[in-house]
Chains A and B, each alone.
Chain A
């Protein structure tokens, strides 16, 4: 569904994305992880044709984004990190505008608006100005607006920022439902637990580069879990060497096992522990 080859995006002297290669197969729920300033949002901008590539090629559903960004946007629903809502208007009006901008009209638009209100669970507040809705309601509406044109590919850019646990769970349910309907979903965040809870494949990027990519189980997978011994190593060594060393020292062991690492530990190992400022 998404194929990125050697994508480079520069803003003046700043290289936001530096030779990114990425492949997201159709129908996957794909996590894109990275700290602030890693280049995630710029990559999303490149997918939607909002950011011009300095080099490389981006294809969405077989379409070259640079050649036909408008056609790509018809197949793509981007849920932006910032709320793309008109605060003075109500939920219904926001949904109508979002659908109308994608060419919906008449009965089709009305039906889709009703669908969007139900999806965001805003039927009871559909006439309230968006500015008066809670943060969670606004996030749900933001997501529903991006889906008004029923796109096969959905990209969510940190869709749970600033929401309460209930709204977060509902957003998770919405995303799982979208995936189960057969859509390809790219979920961007820096919350590890969200990716672990939702995604089947994960890419980790930093400084505009892809650091790791693959099935979640492979990334977090590790040698068998040891039940009785925990060894803190000063250097990275293979378990067999530890076992051999132990055996050479005359210590009888049934085996040396490395405890499973969390995705967060993998992430921090790859991207470092230094604080990042928002870009």
Chain B
């Protein structure tokens, strides 16, 4: 078939420049390795998406949920455990707080003295370890504040001390008994005028921190389809993102070559052939996609053999995502060739588009590090779907079905970009 010679021509040109071809693999590998090390522990910069699973449903647990909402750091969404796990597995949320049934009864102030704290579960995306750690600290603080607020008036405080003294065993530590009884006395109704408690007798409960414990303890659970025993490999994300960045630069190079051929005259070789112009251009896009596939195979081979990147999900899904990414790269090359009239235009417009898509789409940095509005914009970017699809099939260990949205979106972008490129390309 004649059109295959357009593809062969581009492959020959790519492989002829052996140093350039090698660099197209080496550079993304080195950059991915660097970023993988850099972002293994990640700082949090934005709000945290917190899913809340309130299985207790008591007034105490509802009050705790409300206090978490009021805290301001979290964007709270309440839902059931199955849905929460699914959202975490898909990477659509950072952390989930589970309040098990019956735990509300142990979230009162007495837990701070008895050590019988409420046990809450913190489920988190393995790629969001830092978010989980931050959430644990903040949630402990919220629980503490909420508990202490119950000691805000003497009547409530008296009830707590009465309960604690009543519950003390006969052989309890005399010092503890003495402390709690002084608390009882402090919580008695206040004198009518200007009377202050005797000095040193009844310090406020919040200041008696020596024997106090946090009102809650957290059990932290990683949630991924691969199971909690499988840790997050930061290289998985960075190999996907860096590969994508360089594939897009490769598309830019294809577009530049096409413009260069037009300016230097070699594009006439295609025009003077019996090929339809559209077929010749589409074949150029296919050539770009095949080059992208070669680079992808080489980069992932290094990632898997050296850096432990694994396809823990569906191999079929992984191949489908990679192929659709390559198709998108071909479409993007045609789009740039159609939009840019000169090599300089393709260089400037292409570099801008590649960097914006890569950074805003989450290819270079995880999306939770970006502002909320930008995370919404990312949904409209092909790079978002590409990194999402690769993450789903690699470290998230999701099934083939999880790859399909990414595949559909990437093929859609490939078609859209390709059609625009075909319509706008100028042969002269």
Contacts and interface: CB of A to CB of B under 8 A. Distances in A.
A102 B273 contact: yes
B268 A101 contact: no
Q: Which of B264, B273, B276 has the most CB of A within 10 A?
A: B273
A100 B265 contact: no
Contact of B269 (A71, A74, A129, A145): A145
A73 B272 contact: yes
A84 B12 contact: no
B2 interface: yes
A26 interface: no
Nearest to B280: A101
A71 B275 CA distance: 10
Nearest to B17: A88
What class of interface size applies to chain A in its complex with B? 20 to 34
Nearest to A102: B273
Contact of A85 (B2, B6, B266): B266
A82 interface: yes
A82 B265 CA distance: 5
Interface residues of B, number: 23
B62 interface: no
Nearest to A51: B428
A86 B274 contact: no
B426 to A, nearest CB: 13
A102 B12 contact: no
Contact of B268 (A84, A100, A129): A84
A89 B12 contact: yes
B265 A83 contact: yes
A70 B13 contact: no
Nearest to A90: B16
A55 interface: no
B16 A97 contact: no
A162 to B, nearest CB: 13
A102 B273 CA distance: 6
Contacts of A71: 274
Interface string B1-40: 0101110110011001100000000000000000000000
Interface of A: 48, 50, 70-71, 73-74, 78, 80, 82-89, 93, 96-98, 100-103, 129, 145-146
27 contacts: A70-B275, A71-B274, A73-B272, A73-B273, A74-B274, A78-B272, A80-B265, A80-B268, A82-B264, A82-B268, A83-B264, A84-B269, A85-B266, A86-B13, A87-B264, A88-B16, A89-B12, A96-B5, A97-B5, A97-B8, A97-B9, A97-B12, A100-B5, A101-B269, A101-B270, A101-B275, A102-B274
Q: State the 4 A-B residue pairs at the shortest beta-carbon distance, nearest first.
A: A82-B265, A100-B5, A101-B273, A84-B268
